Amino acid sequence: MHRRALLATGLATLGAGACASSTAGPPPEPAAVGGPDTGPAPQPAQTYSSDELVNRVSDALGVTAEAAGGAVERVFKDNGRPTGYIAGEEASGAITVGLRYGRGLLYMKDRPTLQVYWQGPTVGWDLGGNASRVFTLCYDLQYPDAIFRRFPGVEGTAYLIGGLGVNYQRADGITLAPIRAGVGLRLGANIGYLSYSRQQNGWPF
C-alpha cells in the first residue's frame, strides 16, 4: 500500500515538472555588448581653394583681382585652406583707445549662411578713423555657431585714404584672418579683441 502511494506521488511530481517545462518561455537573449548607437560621426567642414576666393574677395572689397590675389596668397601661405569666410563691413576709430563695430554674413560649404556682428576695443599707439569692407577667412571653424566667441589679436594699420591690410585673430583653435580695404585716415598699431555675436551690441567690452 505504501509503495503504491509513493509511486503515485512520484508520477504526479514528474507530470507537474513536465507541464512547467512546456509552458516556460525561451531563455532571455544575452545583453548586447557595447553602448547605444550614436549615429555616424559628423563630417568635417569642407575647405575653399584660393581660386574660389580671389574673385569673391575682389568683388566684396572692391579691389582689383591682382590685389585680392596677393592678399589671399599671403594668408594661404600662412594658414592653408579656410573652412569659411565672412563678407561684411565695419567702422572704427581711435585716439590711443579705439572701438570697432562691424557686421557681415558667414559662409561655409554645406552649412547654413549666418548673420554675424562683431565689436571690440583696442589700445595702443593709434590715431584716426576709417570705414572698411572686410573679407575674413576662417580656419578650423567646423560649424557656424563656433564663431560666437571673443578673438584677441594684434594689428598694425596704415590707412592713407585707401589701403588693404591683413591681421590674425585666434581663439580655441580657430583662426580668423580679416582682409580689410578701407577709406579714411588712420596710422598706428594696437592690440585688442573682437567679440562675435548674433546681435549688434553697443557695449564693446
| Total tally of structural domains belonging to the chain | 1
> Under DSSP, is residue 134 helix (H, G, I), strand (E, B) or coil?
strand
Name the most confidently modeled range: 89-93, 123-127, 179-183.
89-93
pLDDT, the chain, mean:
77
The answer to whether position 68 is within a domain reads yes
In a domain, 42, yes or no: no
Tell me the average pLDDT across 5-32: 44
pLDDT in the model for residue 186:
57
86 lies in a domain?
yes
Q: Is residue 31 part of a domain?
A: no
- Structural domain contains residue 38: no
Residue 8 in this model has a pLDDT that exceeds 70: no
SS3 69: helix
Q: What is the dihedral of CA 107, 108, 110, 113, to 10 degrees?
A: -30
Question: Residue 78 is part of which domain span?
Answer: 50-197
Query: Sorting pLDDT into bands at 50, 70 and 90, what band is 133?
Result: very high
Residue 26 inside a domain? The answer is: no
End-to-end alpha carbon distance in the chain: 104
Rg over CA atoms, the chain: 33
Model pLDDT, residue 70: 87
Asked, for residue 179, whether it belongs to a domain, the answer is yes
When pLDDT is averaged across residues 166-190 and rounded to a whole number, the result is 80
CATH code, domain with 175: 2.40.128.480
Query: Which pLDDT does position 125 carry in this prediction?
Result: 61
Q: Is residue 57 part of a domain?
A: yes
Q: Which residue has the higher pLDDT, 104 or 23?
A: 104
